Chain A
Amino acid sequence: AQTVTQSQPEMSVQEAETVTLSCTYDTSESDYYLFWYKQPPSRQMILVIRQEAYKQQNATENRFSVNFQKAAKSFSLKISDSQLGDAAMYFCAYRSAQGAQKLVFGQGTRLTINP
Protein backbone atom coordinates (compact mmCIF):
# COMPACT_ATOMS: atom_id res chain seq x y z
CA ALA A 1 0.00 0.00 0.00
CA GLN A 2 1.12 3.51 -0.72
CA THR A 3 2.04 5.83 2.11
CA VAL A 4 2.73 9.56 2.25
CA THR A 5 4.85 11.17 4.95
CA GLN A 6 5.10 14.82 5.87
CA SER A 7 7.82 15.09 8.48
CA GLN A 8 7.21 18.73 9.42
CA PRO A 9 4.07 19.10 11.58
CA GLU A 10 4.57 22.88 11.69
CA MET A 11 6.51 25.47 9.74
CA SER A 12 6.68 29.24 9.94
CA VAL A 13 8.01 31.89 7.58
CA GLN A 14 8.25 35.65 7.42
CA GLU A 15 5.95 37.40 5.03
CA ALA A 16 7.56 37.82 1.57
CA GLU A 17 10.11 35.09 2.28
CA THR A 18 10.33 31.62 0.73
CA VAL A 19 9.43 28.37 2.47
CA THR A 20 9.69 24.73 1.45
CA LEU A 21 7.40 22.00 2.73
CA SER A 22 8.64 18.41 2.55
CA CYS A 23 6.84 15.27 1.46
CA THR A 24 8.04 11.74 0.83
CA TYR A 25 6.03 8.80 -0.38
CA ASP A 26 6.39 5.09 -0.74
CA THR A 27 5.11 3.18 -3.75
CA SER A 28 6.08 0.35 -6.06
CA GLU A 29 4.21 1.90 -8.96
CA SER A 30 5.90 3.77 -11.77
CA ASP A 31 2.93 5.84 -12.90
CA TYR A 32 1.07 8.04 -10.45
CA TYR A 33 0.09 11.59 -9.59
CA LEU A 34 1.11 13.80 -6.71
CA PHE A 35 -0.81 16.74 -5.32
CA TRP A 36 -0.54 19.50 -2.77
CA TYR A 37 -3.80 20.62 -1.19
CA LYS A 38 -4.23 23.63 1.06
CA GLN A 39 -6.70 23.69 3.93
CA PRO A 40 -7.22 27.21 5.38
CA PRO A 41 -9.12 27.83 8.61
CA SER A 42 -12.37 27.59 6.64
CA ARG A 43 -11.54 23.83 6.30
CA GLN A 44 -12.09 23.89 2.54
CA MET A 45 -9.62 21.64 0.67
CA ILE A 46 -8.11 23.64 -2.18
CA LEU A 47 -5.88 22.15 -4.87
CA VAL A 48 -2.58 24.02 -5.03
CA ILE A 49 -0.54 22.10 -7.56
CA ARG A 50 -0.37 18.74 -9.35
CA GLN A 51 2.54 16.69 -10.72
CA GLU A 52 2.41 13.75 -13.11
CA ALA A 53 5.09 11.18 -12.30
CA TYR A 54 5.93 10.62 -15.97
CA LYS A 55 6.85 14.27 -16.40
CA GLN A 56 10.39 15.21 -15.44
CA GLN A 57 9.62 18.91 -15.46
CA ASN A 58 8.59 20.30 -12.10
CA ALA A 59 5.11 21.81 -11.96
CA THR A 60 4.69 25.53 -11.26
CA GLU A 61 1.62 27.58 -10.42
CA ASN A 62 2.43 31.25 -9.89
CA ARG A 63 4.24 31.49 -6.53
CA PHE A 64 3.98 27.74 -5.94
CA SER A 65 6.42 25.24 -7.38
CA VAL A 66 7.45 21.70 -6.62
CA ASN A 67 10.71 19.81 -6.53
CA PHE A 68 9.85 16.31 -7.73
CA GLN A 69 12.58 13.73 -7.23
CA LYS A 70 11.14 10.45 -8.49
CA ALA A 71 14.09 8.24 -7.60
CA ALA A 72 14.15 9.62 -4.08
CA LYS A 73 10.32 9.54 -3.86
CA SER A 74 10.33 13.12 -2.73
CA PHE A 75 7.83 15.86 -3.58
CA SER A 76 8.43 19.18 -1.86
CA LEU A 77 6.41 22.37 -2.22
CA LYS A 78 8.10 25.76 -2.44
CA ILE A 79 6.10 28.89 -1.73
CA SER A 80 7.79 32.08 -2.87
CA ASP A 81 6.96 35.58 -1.66
CA SER A 82 4.83 34.18 1.17
CA GLN A 83 1.62 36.05 1.85
CA LEU A 84 -0.60 36.13 4.93
CA GLY A 85 -3.28 34.30 2.95
CA ASP A 86 -0.94 31.33 2.53
CA ALA A 87 -1.37 30.44 6.19
CA ALA A 88 -3.04 27.03 6.24
CA MET A 89 -2.58 23.30 6.63
CA TYR A 90 -0.88 21.82 3.59
CA PHE A 91 -1.45 18.20 2.63
CA CYS A 92 0.61 16.17 0.22
CA ALA A 93 -1.38 13.47 -1.58
CA TYR A 94 -0.71 10.49 -3.87
CA ARG A 95 -2.98 8.91 -6.44
CA SER A 96 -2.31 5.83 -8.54
CA ALA A 97 -2.62 6.19 -12.29
CA GLN A 98 -4.40 2.85 -12.47
CA GLY A 99 -6.69 0.91 -10.22
CA ALA A 100 -8.16 2.65 -7.20
CA GLN A 101 -8.39 6.39 -7.71
CA LYS A 102 -8.39 7.31 -4.06
CA LEU A 103 -6.14 10.03 -2.74
CA VAL A 104 -3.68 8.96 -0.05
CA PHE A 105 -2.84 11.91 2.17
CA GLY A 106 0.05 12.76 4.43
CA GLN A 107 -0.56 14.03 7.96
CA GLY A 108 -0.23 17.66 6.94
CA THR A 109 2.04 20.62 7.72
CA ARG A 110 0.65 23.69 9.45
CA LEU A 111 2.18 26.80 7.88
CA THR A 112 2.23 30.08 9.79
CA ILE A 113 3.08 33.37 8.10
CA ASN A 114 4.67 35.98 10.36
CA PRO A 115 3.99 39.59 9.37
Chain B
Amino acid sequence: DSGVTQTPKHLITATGQRVTLRCSPRSGDLSVYWYQQSLDQGLQFLIQYYNGEERAKGNILERFSAQQFPDLHSELNLSSLELGDSALYFCASSVGSGGGSETQYFGPGTRLLVL
Protein backbone atom coordinates (compact mmCIF):
# COMPACT_ATOMS: atom_id res chain seq x y z
CA ASP B 1 0.00 0.00 0.00
CA SER B 2 1.61 3.24 -1.22
CA GLY B 3 -0.55 5.51 0.93
CA VAL B 4 -2.06 7.18 -2.14
CA THR B 5 -5.80 6.62 -2.47
CA GLN B 6 -7.97 6.96 -5.54
CA THR B 7 -11.72 6.79 -5.95
CA PRO B 8 -13.62 5.28 -7.57
CA LYS B 9 -11.79 2.10 -8.52
CA HIS B 10 -13.98 1.51 -11.54
CA LEU B 11 -16.17 3.82 -13.58
CA ILE B 12 -18.41 2.96 -16.51
CA THR B 13 -20.06 5.77 -18.40
CA ALA B 14 -21.31 6.75 -21.83
CA THR B 15 -19.84 8.91 -24.56
CA GLY B 16 -20.45 12.60 -24.08
CA GLN B 17 -20.64 12.34 -20.30
CA ARG B 18 -18.47 13.96 -17.65
CA VAL B 19 -16.73 12.22 -14.76
CA THR B 20 -14.56 13.23 -11.82
CA LEU B 21 -11.69 11.14 -10.49
CA ARG B 22 -10.42 11.80 -7.01
CA CYS B 23 -6.98 11.36 -5.47
CA SER B 24 -5.66 11.76 -1.94
CA PRO B 25 -1.86 11.94 -1.73
CA ARG B 26 0.30 10.34 0.95
CA SER B 27 0.31 12.19 4.22
CA GLY B 28 2.75 15.09 3.95
CA ASP B 29 3.12 14.97 0.18
CA LEU B 30 2.58 18.28 -1.58
CA SER B 31 2.72 17.20 -5.24
CA VAL B 32 0.10 15.26 -7.13
CA TYR B 33 0.63 13.88 -10.62
CA TRP B 34 -1.93 12.39 -12.99
CA TYR B 35 -1.03 9.74 -15.57
CA GLN B 36 -3.09 7.91 -18.16
CA GLN B 37 -2.39 4.30 -19.12
CA SER B 38 -4.01 3.11 -22.33
CA LEU B 39 -3.27 0.22 -24.66
CA ASP B 40 -2.28 2.40 -27.61
CA GLN B 41 -0.53 5.29 -25.83
CA GLY B 42 1.07 3.48 -22.90
CA LEU B 43 1.71 5.45 -19.70
CA GLN B 44 1.54 9.19 -20.27
CA PHE B 45 1.92 12.13 -17.94
CA LEU B 46 -1.08 14.44 -17.87
CA ILE B 47 -0.52 17.13 -15.26
CA GLN B 48 1.18 17.97 -11.96
CA TYR B 49 0.00 20.11 -9.08
CA TYR B 50 2.22 21.32 -6.27
CA ASN B 51 0.68 22.78 -3.14
CA GLY B 52 -2.43 23.88 -4.98
CA GLU B 53 -0.76 25.32 -8.05
CA GLU B 54 -0.37 23.81 -11.51
CA ARG B 55 3.30 22.91 -11.89
CA ALA B 56 3.62 21.08 -15.17
CA LYS B 57 1.39 20.05 -18.01
CA GLY B 58 1.81 17.11 -20.34
CA ASN B 59 -0.37 15.54 -23.00
CA ILE B 60 -3.64 16.57 -21.38
CA LEU B 61 -6.60 17.18 -23.65
CA GLU B 62 -8.55 20.43 -23.43
CA ARG B 63 -11.59 18.36 -22.42
CA PHE B 64 -9.69 17.35 -19.28
CA SER B 65 -8.97 19.57 -16.32
CA ALA B 66 -7.61 19.11 -12.83
CA GLN B 67 -7.24 20.96 -9.59
CA GLN B 68 -5.69 20.52 -6.17
CA PHE B 69 -7.59 21.66 -3.13
CA PRO B 70 -6.32 23.25 0.12
CA ASP B 71 -6.37 19.85 1.83
CA LEU B 72 -4.09 18.70 -1.02
CA HIS B 73 -6.45 16.17 -2.53
CA SER B 74 -6.82 16.44 -6.28
CA GLU B 75 -9.56 15.87 -8.80
CA LEU B 76 -9.27 15.11 -12.50
CA ASN B 77 -12.32 16.10 -14.51
CA LEU B 78 -12.94 14.43 -17.86
CA SER B 79 -15.71 15.86 -20.03
CA SER B 80 -17.31 15.13 -23.41
CA LEU B 81 -15.99 11.63 -23.03
CA GLU B 82 -15.02 9.61 -26.09
CA LEU B 83 -14.44 5.89 -26.52
CA GLY B 84 -10.71 6.57 -26.71
CA ASP B 85 -10.70 8.01 -23.21
CA SER B 86 -11.16 4.52 -21.80
CA ALA B 87 -8.01 3.91 -19.78
CA LEU B 88 -6.50 3.42 -16.36
CA TYR B 89 -5.91 6.77 -14.69
CA PHE B 90 -3.21 6.90 -12.06
CA CYS B 91 -2.51 9.48 -9.44
CA ALA B 92 0.94 9.71 -7.90
CA SER B 93 2.33 11.89 -5.15
CA SER B 94 5.70 13.10 -3.93
CA VAL B 95 6.94 15.05 -0.97
CA GLY B 96 8.01 18.27 -2.67
CA SER B 97 7.85 19.73 -6.14
CA GLY B 98 9.30 16.58 -7.62
CA GLY B 99 12.93 17.52 -8.02
CA GLY B 100 16.06 16.06 -6.54
CA SER B 101 15.89 12.47 -5.46
CA GLU B 102 12.14 12.46 -4.88
CA THR B 103 10.17 9.38 -5.75
CA GLN B 104 6.64 9.36 -7.06
CA TYR B 105 4.36 6.88 -5.31
CA PHE B 106 1.36 5.66 -7.26
CA GLY B 107 -2.20 5.04 -6.22
CA PRO B 108 -4.16 1.94 -7.31
CA GLY B 109 -5.69 3.73 -10.28
CA THR B 110 -9.21 4.34 -11.55
CA ARG B 111 -10.30 2.22 -14.49
CA LEU B 112 -12.56 4.20 -16.79
CA LEU B 113 -14.65 2.51 -19.44
CA VAL B 114 -16.53 4.70 -21.90
CA LEU B 115 -19.29 2.90 -23.80
Contacts and interface: CB of A to CB of B under 8 A. Distances in A.
Interface of A: 33, 35, 37, 42-47, 50, 52, 91, 95, 97-98, 100-108
Interface of B: 2, 31, 33, 35, 42-45, 48, 55-56, 58, 88, 90, 92, 94, 97-106, 108-109, 111
A44 B98 contact: no
A102 B56 contact: yes
A103 B99 contact: no
8 contacts: A43-B109, A45-B109, A47-B105, A50-B101, A50-B103, A52-B101, A101-B94, A106-B42
A104 B99 CA distance: 14
A97 B99 contact: yes
A35 B44 CA distance: 15
